[in-house]
Structure formats: structure tokens, C-alpha cells
Structure 1
Amino acid sequence: MFDFSGFASVNLETVIAAIALIGTAVAWLVDRYVLRRKRLVYRVQVDARIGVYPRADQTQRMVDVEVRHQGAVVPDPSIVLLRLDNAGGMDIDPHDMHGKVAFAFPDRKIVGLKVTEAYPQSLGEMLERRLAPANFVDTSKLVLPRIAINRGDHFKFLLVLSGTGTGVSHSGYLAGGSTGGGVYHEPRPRGPGRRTLLFGALSLVLVGALVAFFLVDVLRPPDDCSSGQLRVIGSTAVEPTMRELRTAYAAECTNADIVIAANGSRSGVRALADLGAQDAAQAAQQIAMSDGPAEGAPQLVGTPVAVVVFAVTVNRAADVTALTTTQLRDIYSGKFTNWKQLGGRDLPIRMVSRVGPDSGSRRVFREKVLAGDQELGISSDNCARDDDAVARYHRCEVGTTEELLTRVNEIDGAIGYAELGSARRFAQVSIVTIDQVASDTARVADRSYRFWEVEHAYTYKAPEPKSLTAAFLDYIGSAKARPVLERGGLVPCSDLTTGFCG
């Protein structure tokens, strides 16, 4: 007989230690990436006196160093270089800044301010315009304007101050953060030391190994992988999400050949219906994604998958972050043609729209935002210039969501509409609030945000139970695919109240 008591004891202790370590790591990962808190991080990269201090001999009488501002000598001058980053998992909207986010410099007054670095550049230009001298000169506090700061954006302030004080403190509250109101001080501007990096790397390796041993990958498809060929067509709004789902599924089910070929919601539904009438076997290997329910195709079977959240997008150069439905209707009817009419910069409003009635996002925009009104005619083929020299408005059309967002991202004063998850990937695109409500999945759940639609997956008749079409359709609607849907700005129907998805 063998004595396994010692082995059992060691094994139990190892498991307990592993669970504790994994729990700590998972808690941090959940807080950072799953809860996706809003985090505005600031670092004081420089805080130093300005001056030349020669030795107390004859050279002192030969040196005359002083700092002047507007012709007057600045007593006890110093400089501060302050960097701010959106280091969280979500965009920061203007209405998230409660109580004014501000930075104080005790016993010192601000006499000069410059934005020295910003990503994207248009963000720095906006800050320069908003921070007029009357807002900060001869004060001891820098108040951050209420502006949109997208994920990954950062900027620096170089301040010249007068006074003998030292140090920087912050105040204000940022909605959507955790302890500290979402505004955090990062005291080490030069990054972690070698020991911290080494310890962190070893910890990540250990945690990764333990997680791989004890946990199941959340995106792992079912064990009964189906093989064959499948073509997913339809909505371009959810194309990036469908590609990510395809990659996750095919990584394990290597015999699954899935092609994503988005061509517009109505085009996809119509193509599937036409193919079914000609070749039912080929149609059985296709899924058509549609922004909203399909019409006039009784032979197709639709499955509600998720709510796709749409957003109105504006190029950052316009300096506009909030619009009302009335203002949007006036823009798309041609009443407003310049952003200065809406409190923005002196730039022409250039509408970038989707082509024709086959676009699901165009239909949703017309129904949910324009109250059924049609958009104006085309005045430009390339959006940046007008083909009609006497056009009183500026409007073009493009074929896909990616094209629309690319044009809005590149053209000063451009405006468009697109799926929220895709819009977040473009640095020069600002997602505006509509009637003071942000484009956010939480605002869809409480029905305060109206620009959304239910995404349907259509097949030609009911798919065969063991087919790749059925397996992938089940995977799209499963809890395993939820993280991918959420990253794309979609709300799974299973997360919403009964009747929400129809």
C-alpha cells in the first residue's frame, strides 16, 4: 500500500495558492478590461524652478537672468510639464466630467500655458482654442475643458508659473471610474524599474500557465466542431465583429472554412433569397446578417442575435461633440451648412452617407434620427470637394461602413453615421451625444438612447442540425461569443429584457 496523504496535502495547498493568485489576476483583468472603467491618468513629468545660480563672486554681477511675461518680470518662475492620458477601456465623453476636472498649483500662479504634444493633433488644437488666456492667466488652477477624449488619446500642458510653492494636485469627478472618480495620479513618469518589469513578466507567465491549466478559454467553441464551407454576407456594420467571431471559431475548428463577404443588409438578404430559389444546397451554406428584420422574404428564417448600437460621427476638426435630433434633421435637410452655426469652427458641413436603400444603417438613421425624412441628393463623388459648383450643401455617398468612417476621419468638417464599435477605432472621429445622451450600450438597455437596431442572422430555411451553418449560428448566439459582441458595441439579446429583441 502507498501513502498518498503527503501528496494530497501538497496538491491541496498548491491548488489553494493557485486559486488565490488567479483570483488576484482575474480581479485586476476584470476591473481593467471587462468593467472597462473610464480612467484619466495624469503624470507630472517636470516640476522645476527656472533660474541660473552662479557662485557668489564677481560672476554674479555679470549675469542678469530674468523671465518676462507680457513685458513684466515673473517673480520666482517655475515650469510644470503635465501629461494626461485616457488609459481606461472606454471613451470619455464631455458629460462624464462632473465638478470640473482641475489641477491646482499651491502658492503659485499660472502666467503662461502651451499644449506641447497631443494625439491626435486635432485634440491639441481644440484644447488651445478652449483654453483662452482669460481662463487660466493669474490663477493657481488649470480647469480642463469638457471635451471628448477617446481611448488612447493623450496630451501635455507646459505651464510657466510664478511663486515659491511646489507640487500639483487634482480635483473633480469623472463618471464611470472607480475609487478616485476615474482621475488617477501616476507618480512614476519614467515607467517601472527593471525589477518591477521582471517580477511582472514572471507573474504573468505563472498566471498564464495556471489559467491555461485550470480554466477554459471563454472563446473556445463547442467540442463538436462542424466542418465544411460557410459564407456570411449582409451588414457591413457588423463585419468587423463577424470576422473576429470567425477567427475565434476557426482557430479551434480548423476544418471550418468561413468567408465574410459583407455587401449591405438588404443586398445580403436579397442575394440569399435569390440563391435559395436557384440552388437550395448552396443557399444552405450562407448566413445573411441584417440590421433589422428582413421584408418580403418568407422563405428565410431569421434569428435575433444582438442589438447593434449606432452613432453619429463628426470629424474632430469641427469642434462639436453634442447635437440634438432637431439639429441633425436641420443638417440633413440643408438648413445648417457650416459648423459655426452650431457653435463649432468655421468649416463647411460635409455629409458622408451610405449608398441607397440597401444599407441597413442608412435605413435605421432615417427612421430613428431623421423621423422618416429622406437625405438630400449627392453633390460630390469624393466627399472632399463638390462636383456642383453652386451646391448649397455638401453630401456624398459611399458603399461600406469602413469607407464612411475613413472619409469622416480624413475630411475636416465631415459627419456620418456608423456602428459604434467600428467608429471607436478612428482617431479623428468624435462620437457625438444625441439629445445629451451618449452612444452607449447601457443607454440602450434603459431605452434612453434610440439610435439602435436588432441584428438578425438569416438562413435559407432552417439549417441542418449538424451543419456548419447551424453550428456557427449557435456560436454567435452563445455566451462564449458575448465578449466579442460587446467589444464590437453590440448588446447580446440574451442580456436584454424579454421582448427587447422581438
Structure 2
Amino acid sequence: MGLAVDFSGLGDINLETVIAAIALISTATAWTVDRYFLRRKRLVYRVQVDAPIGVFPSSHMVDVEVRHLGDVVEEPSVVLLRVDNAGGMDIEPHHMHEKVSFAFPDRTIVGLEVTEAKPEALGEMLQRQLDSEKFVDTSRLVIPRMAINRGDSFKFLLVLSGRGDGVTHSGYLAGGSAGGGVYHEPRPRGPGRRTLIFGALSLVLVGALVALFLVDVLQPPDNCAAGQLRIVGSTAVEPTVKEVRSAYVAECTQADITIAATGSRSGTRLLADTGKKDAPAAEKLIALSDGPAEEAAELQSRPIAVVVFAVVVNRTTDVSALTTNQLRDIYAGRLTNWKQLGGRDLPIRMVSRVGPDSGSRRTFREKVLAGDQELGITSDDCRTKDDATAKQQRCEVGTTEELLSRVADIDGAIGYAELGGSRKYPTLTPVAIDGVVPATERVTDRTYRFWEVEHAYTAAPPKPDSLQDAFLDYLTSDQAKPMMARDGLVPCGDLPGDFCG
């Protein structure tokens, strides 16, 4: 007689089904934890071509000669090597404690070229750095210490001399909650495709079983409220708040929440003015501010999270680290070309946020520039100077998204923005400041200083059971934490009390 289990009113389920479900869910959970929570650094390489250069099958019919710079290449062969950042984290230069390298036993490198890089700027930077090294007459290719973001990839096309074959690797990556490494991935074949199909089928089954067994676990927010709400203020956290808003209204269908981000100070100013003139209208407003709204002390504050900011540069600069003094010299106009900082011969093009309403700009001025003001505007399009006699080149834009887009598209550009948003642009490099990379863990250990507390403001204490009160609770709930973490925000509830005040 089989064993029957009563599971939350779902009826009798035999033991074999339960065991199979547990096995499938455990497999899926292990994969999910490894991919998304352990946050490994993984540099994966694949040898796509490794073959001698010659005429086959009867090479005695034709004499084939390969030359490089006029010299005959003995026993020539070609290797096409693909390298991917296939892990869950960006790889920064300092993560390569021992430089990653590839060896070609019994062969020496004759020629080397970087091809099919994603993004293209990464390939150009890598080629420039490799060109500055001596790789001819060596059997080893060493990857320079450089930033390789999640999803980045590139290929090496090499011509080699010698009768050897095969490719080996050495080096390791440090950092990440579960470490990291360099892995060889064989070229996929038919059985691999079958494995993928089996894996996909398994995930479908897992999804069905999760829906069956965990229906009571995935509950909608327990503080759903109806009404209208408008969120104004910071553009730095706008993408995160939009995601949280979407999750809330998907379950709380009677809630109508709109977002109109125009800058931290403009948001708190609007809230304060509305509170003085129309209290009922102010009950439908929340203002988000990067840092305290010192100009509107009468507003009610609720700290939400710590926002990690970063100085970002276009990868064409070939610069991945700056000191605080160098940044101050850049924004004071004393440094105007990246070659003065060990980078390429490119003019420094500063892209800044407009005026005093920007919380990002205020935080940058206070935490990085030590209170100094930025220079005047000398460019409307951020690409060219409007006044050819101006020493520096600087423009201003209205939102964080526009700033990141301009810096990502313009050679030699530099700006500052929320770290999570910058990760969405593969042609950007968040630079280390005074040797410390921008990261949430560097905030919590107090070694990185360019961050600020995100405050949610209301004109008066929210009324119980109002949409204003319910959404503020949801912003600080466990349900919202994963969304914040994905965008690089650290919820105040996960930090010591002295961080958020």
C-alpha cells in the first residue's frame, strides 16, 4: 500500500512523486544559487580552430609557403581562441591576481590579432595593449589586466610556428562570494544539444511542480491598497523604482502608480510646495532624494537604501583607475587629455548632470570633489567644444540615463552615475578611486566613499492603509530587496544603523 501525503489540501500525492519533485527542485535550486547568488567570476575559453596551414591531401603537388614580415614560417598553424565572461560578476583588473595566460606547447606565436570583440571598444583596447607587448617568438599569450564585464567576449586569431598542438591555460581570478576561475569549454556537439533539451524539459517540469507545491508561498503583497500615487525626484534610482512599482501593481491591481523623475531637489521642492498649498494632493506624492533634503526640513523622511555611485569612463580612454586628486584636477580643468593619465591621446570630455537639482551631482561634489564646483559648460552636444579656445570640454544633461548613454557613445568621455545603471552599458568602465573599486561590499566595509542614502519623503506622516503608506512599506520589504540588489542598491535594513541614520 502506497504512502499518501496530505499537502495543503491538494489531495493525495504518492511518495514517488514527492521524491521526484524534491530532486528536480533541488537541481534547479542548486543551479540558480550557483548562477545568481554565489556570484562566481568565470572566464571561459573555447578553442574554435586549431589546425596546421597546408595543402591536403597531397601536399607534394604544390609548394606552400607562409611568410610573416618577409620571413618564412616553419610548420605554420592557426588557432582561433574565444574568451567569454560567462560568470555572474564583472571582472576588474585587480581580480587577476595571477595574470590569465594561454600556452601553445612546442609552438611559438608569429602573429596575433583580436577579432569579433563584444563590445568593439573592448577589442580595440585589448589590441592596443597587446601591440605594446612582445608576443612574437614566445609560446604564451598573456591577457593584460583589464576590466571584462559580464557578457563581454573576444577572440584571438593566432598564427604559430612548430609541430605542437593543443592549448593550455593558467592564472586565476579572485573575488566574488564563491570565488572564480578560468574554465575550458569544449566545442558543443550533438549530445550537448540533447543535454540542453533535457535541461529545458527538466526546468518545465520544475516550474509545474513549483506551481503545484509552492502555491501558498508566493503570496502577493499583504498590504495592497487602492488609489493613485505619483513618485517624483531622483533619476538615479528611477529604473529600480519602476521595477518595484511594476511588481506591486501586478498584484495590487487597484493601485495606480506613476513615476516622473526629474531630479532629487526638484522632487522634494515639488512635494514641499504641494504640501503647503494642497494637503490632499500631497498625500498622493512621494519624493525620492539622493541624500537628505536639507532645503525642506519639514518633510517626513524614510531612509530606503544606500545608492552606490561610480565615476564612469568610455573604454576608449584605456583608463580603469584614478585617484581623488586626479579627478579633482580633471574637473578643475588642469588635466585635459587622457594621455596625461597613462591613457590614449584623447581629449577628456566631461559629461555632467544639470544644475543643483541633481542628487548625483551634489553627491559627486561633496564626496569626490570635496565641495568644489564644476567648471562652466563649453559644449552643447558633449562631442565638440563650442568655443575652440576653451581649455576644458564639459557638457550637462538632464537625467542619469542620458549621462550614461552619452559617456558610453563618446570617445574619451567621463561622468558619474549610479553603479547599477552603469553596468547596463558594455562600453563603460566604472573606475577604481584611490585603488578601491565601486562595489556594495566596499561600501559596507567602509573603504569606498562615493555613495549616498536614498530617502523617500512625504509631506506628512502617511495615513494608515493609504497607498502612500503601503508602497513605502513595500519599498522596504523583503519582496523588494532582490530588485534593489540587482541594481546595486543596499537596503537600509541590511546595514548597520549608522549607515542610514
Q: What letter is aligned with 1:22?
A: I
Is residue 303 of structure 1 aligned with residue 278 of structure 2?
no
Is residue 44 of structure 1 aligned with residue 43 of structure 2?
no
Is residue 25 of structure 1 aligned with residue 23 of structure 2?
no
Asked whether the equivalents of residues 40 and 179 of structure 2 are also in contact (C-alpha less than 8 Å), the reply is no
CA 218–359 in structure 1, closer or farther in 2 if over 3 Å, else same: farther
CA 189–84 in structure 1, closer or farther in 2 if over 3 Å, else same: farther
CA 459–337 in structure 1, closer or farther in 2 if over 3 Å, else same: same
Indicate the SS of the match to 1:184: strand
Indicate the SS of the match to 1:352: strand
CA 134–438 in structure 1, closer or farther in 2 if over 3 Å, else same: closer
Asked whether the equivalents of residues 220 and 252 of structure 1 are also in contact (C-alpha less than 8 Å), the reply is no
Equivalent residues in 2 for 1:304-453 (5 A)? Answer: 304-453=303-452
CA RMSD of aligned residues (A): 2.0
Q: What letter is aligned with 2:55?
A: V
> How far is 1:482 from its partner?
0.7
CA 348–75 in structure 1, closer or farther in 2 if over 3 Å, else same: same
* Separation of aligned partners in 2, 1:191 and 1:41: 20
CA 98–285 in structure 1, closer or farther in 2 if over 3 Å, else same: same
Indicate the SS of the match to 1:421: helix
> How far is 1:216 from its partner?
6.2
> How far is 1:185 from its partner?
1.2
Asked whether the equivalents of residues 42 and 86 of structure 2 are also in contact (C-alpha less than 8 Å), the reply is yes
CA 190–336 in structure 1, closer or farther in 2 if over 3 Å, else same: farther
* Separation of aligned partners in 2, 1:370 and 1:227: 44
Q: Which runs of 5+ in 1 are unaligned?
A: none
* Separation of aligned partners in 2, 1:333 and 1:217: 59
* Separation of aligned partners in 2, 1:191 and 1:226: 53
CA 445–283 in structure 1, closer or farther in 2 if over 3 Å, else same: same
> How far is 1:190 from its partner?
5.8
* Separation of aligned partners in 2, 1:108 and 1:74: 11
Equivalent residues in 2 for 1:87-98 (5 A)? Answer: 87-98=86-97
> How far is 1:181 from its partner?
3.7
CA 98–79 in structure 1, closer or farther in 2 if over 3 Å, else same: same
CA 180–141 in structure 1, closer or farther in 2 if over 3 Å, else same: farther
Is residue 128 of structure 1 aligned with residue 127 of structure 2?
yes
> How far is 1:389 from its partner?
2.0
Q: What letter is aligned with 1:20?
A: A
TM-score, scaled to structure 1: 0.95
Partner of 1:55: 58
* Separation of aligned partners in 1, 2:214 and 2:250: 18
> How far is 1:258 from its partner?
0.6
Indicate the SS of the match to 2:14: helix
Asked whether the equivalents of residues 304 and 501 of structure 1 are also in contact (C-alpha less than 8 Å), the reply is yes
* Separation of aligned partners in 1, 2:424 and 2:87: 15
Equivalent residues in 2 for 1:255-274 (5 A)? Answer: 255-274=254-273
Partner of 1:35: 38
> How far is 1:196 from its partner?
1.6
Indicate the SS of the match to 1:427: coil
Asked whether the equivalents of residues 314 and 411 of structure 2 are also in contact (C-alpha less than 8 Å), the reply is yes
CA 397–135 in structure 1, closer or farther in 2 if over 3 Å, else same: same
* Separation of aligned partners in 2, 1:298 and 1:35: 42
Between 1:280-289 and 1:186-195, the stretch displaced more is: 186-195
Q: What letter is aligned with 1:468?
A: L
Q: What letter is aligned with 1:204?
A: L
Partner of 1:213: 212
Asked whether the equivalents of residues 2 and 15 of structure 2 are also in contact (C-alpha less than 8 Å), the reply is no
* Separation of aligned partners in 2, 1:417 and 1:394: 16
* Separation of aligned partners in 1, 2:119 and 2:148: 10
* Separation of aligned partners in 2, 1:402 and 1:435: 26
Asked whether the equivalents of residues 45 and 189 of structure 1 are also in contact (C-alpha less than 8 Å), the reply is no
> How far is 1:208 from its partner?
1.2
C-alpha offsets along residues 236-292 of structure 1, whole Å, 9 cap, x if unaligned? Answer: 000000000011111111111110110100110010000011111111111100001
Asked whether the equivalents of residues 73 and 161 of structure 2 are also in contact (C-alpha less than 8 Å), the reply is yes
Partner of 2:227: 228
* Separation of aligned partners in 2, 1:90 and 1:232: 31
CA 380–80 in structure 1, closer or farther in 2 if over 3 Å, else same: same
Partner of 1:244: 243
Q: What letter is aligned with 1:378?
A: I
* Separation of aligned partners in 2, 1:358 and 1:426: 25
* Separation of aligned partners in 2, 1:266 and 1:294: 7
* Separation of aligned partners in 2, 1:448 and 1:85: 30
Partner of 2:9: none
> How far is 1:335 from its partner?
0.5
Indicate the SS of the match to 1:403: helix
Between 1:264-273 and 1:176-185, the stretch displaced more is: 176-185
> How far is 1:382 from its partner?
1.6
CA 351–450 in structure 1, closer or farther in 2 if over 3 Å, else same: same
Partner of 2:18: 15
C-alpha offsets along residues 112-134 of structure 1, whole Å, 9 cap, x if unaligned? Answer: 10112111111111111111274
> How far is 1:388 from its partner?
1.5
Aligned residues: 496
Asked whether the equivalents of residues 308 and 488 of structure 2 are also in contact (C-alpha less than 8 Å), the reply is yes
C-alpha offsets along residues 379-412 of structure 1, whole Å, 9 cap, x if unaligned? Answer: 1122111112210000111111011111101111
* Separation of aligned partners in 2, 1:274 and 1:70: 74
> How far is 1:183 from its partner?
1.3
Indicate the SS of the match to 1:202: helix
Indicate the SS of the match to 1:32: helix
Asked whether the equivalents of residues 220 and 249 of structure 1 are also in contact (C-alpha less than 8 Å), the reply is no
Indicate the SS of the match to 2:171: strand
Q: What letter is aligned with 1:289?
A: L
Q: What letter is aligned with 2:56?
A: Y
Indicate the SS of the match to 1:172: strand
* Separation of aligned partners in 2, 1:182 and 1:216: 38
> How far is 1:182 from its partner?
2.1
Q: What letter is aligned with 1:290?
A: S
